[in-house]
């Protein structure tokens, strides 16, 4: 069984990655559009198992890419026509596949943060949470959606291959903003159209929170965190929160607090425990913090007298 290297290979520049993949140097040192169909299949496969980390952003749309991809401790299959996003510093692993099965198509867009300097995307790119999603949370496009995305990429590629002038950066940035805006729309659509799978996630979340608060986990480990909840569901924190906002209008943190309030109401109504004792049982070191949380919850008015 192939194993991913323990120490990832880090690429500080796009030029370094081009050399690693035996690709001609990029036409711009801070941005690159790579046609996956033009890659040397034998050299790619000869690389064996890989663990990579970029110091730049990457956006990809892949077809016919039967490689095993790894994020964290789990391995996933790339399926037909998936779009994926990676922010600088994320670790990505890949297992090799037989040469006869490897015939990828699509494109890979690489953007160094320095390319975004002094543009509107410098700050706004960090608001696109899908750069923090895991590999198995890729975006699956319809044919119409893929045509829209490919048209934007064609514009970027055309500008990328043109002579660089003072307008080049602004034009490419405009197209990048358009690409990310459509990607955000399509992820929102994916949250809605995959109702069965997504509602199963919601059910699992509610079940996990119920078990956590009913048992002694709170006393032992304190309040659950967004990270601990997402880890239990095998979902990245950003993906889980974005999914919940679409399905319920609330973030993961709000779901955690809502379940906490329900448990506190139960304790206040059915036991003779003091507020301090209940606060401690629910993971609060200080009862003042416990009371402060409830002051923000209008739904708790009926029980205010029990606390204040």
The pLDDT tens digits for 39-65 are 766 555 545 567 888 999 999 988 765
Instruction: Confirm whether 9-140 and 196-307 share one CATH topology.
Output: no
- Domain segments of the chain as ranges: 9-140, 196-307
First to last CA, the chain: 61
**Tokens at residue 308, please?**
């204040």
Q: How far, in Å, CA of 169 to CA of 165, rounded?
A: 8
Q: What is the pTM of this model?
A: 0.69
Q: Does domain 196-307 have CATH number 2.30.250.10?
A: no
| CA angle 17–88–135, rounded 5-degree value | 90
**pLDDT tens sequence across 99-133:** 555 566 789 999 999 999 989 999 899 899 898 88
Residues 6+ apart with CB under 8 A from 290: 264, 275, 278, 279, 282, 284, 307
CA distance 60 to 48: 21
From 257, 302, 308, select the one nearest 282 (Cα to Cα): 257
Q: Find the helix packing angle between 226-233 and 252-270, rounded to 10°.
A: 100
Counting as low any pLDDT under 50, the low residues of the chain are: 1-5, 46, 66, 70-79, 298-308
Task: For the beta carbon of residue 218, count every other beta carbon within 10 angstroms.
Answer: 19
Q: What CATH number should be reported for the domain whose range is 9-140?
A: 2.60.120
């Amino acid at each position: 069984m192939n194993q991913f290297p323990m120490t990832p290979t880090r690429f500080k520049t796009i030029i370094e990655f081009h050399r690693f993949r035996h690709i001609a140097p990029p036409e711009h040192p801070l941005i690159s559009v790579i046609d996956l169909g033009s890659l040397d299949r034998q050299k790619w496969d000869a690389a064996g198992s890989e663990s990579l980390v970029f110091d730049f952003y990457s956006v990809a749309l892949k077809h016919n890419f039967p490689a095993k991809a790894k994020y964290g401790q789990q391995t996933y299959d790339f399926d037909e026509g998936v779009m994926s996003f990676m922010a600088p510093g994320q670790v990505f692993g890949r297992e090799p596949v037989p040469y006869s099965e490897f015939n990828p198509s699509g494109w890979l867009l690489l953007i160094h943060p320095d390319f975004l300097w002094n543009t509107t995307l410098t700050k706004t790119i960090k608001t696109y949470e899908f750069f923090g999603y895991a590999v198995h949370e890729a975006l699956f496009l319809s044919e119409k959606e893929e045509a829209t995305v490919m048209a934007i990429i064609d514009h970027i590629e055309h500008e990328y291959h043109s002579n660089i002038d003072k307008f080049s950066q602004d034009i490419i940035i405009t197209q990048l903003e358009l690409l990310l805006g459509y990607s955000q729309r399509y992820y929102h659509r994916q949250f809605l159209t995959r109702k069965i799978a997504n509602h199963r996630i919601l059910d699992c979340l509610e079940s996990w929170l119920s078990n956590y608060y009913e048992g002694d986990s709170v006393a032992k480990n304190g309040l659950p965190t967004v990270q601990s909840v997402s880890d239990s569901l095998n979902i990245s924190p950003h993906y889980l929160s974005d999914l919940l906002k679409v399905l319920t209008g609330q973030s993961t943190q709000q779901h955690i607090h809502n379940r906490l309030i329900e448990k506190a109401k139960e304790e206040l109504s059915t036991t003779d425990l003091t507020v301090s004792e209940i606060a401690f049982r629910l993971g609060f070191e200080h009862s003042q913090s416990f009371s402060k949380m409830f002051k923000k919850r209008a739904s708790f008015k009926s029980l205010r007298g029990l606390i204040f």
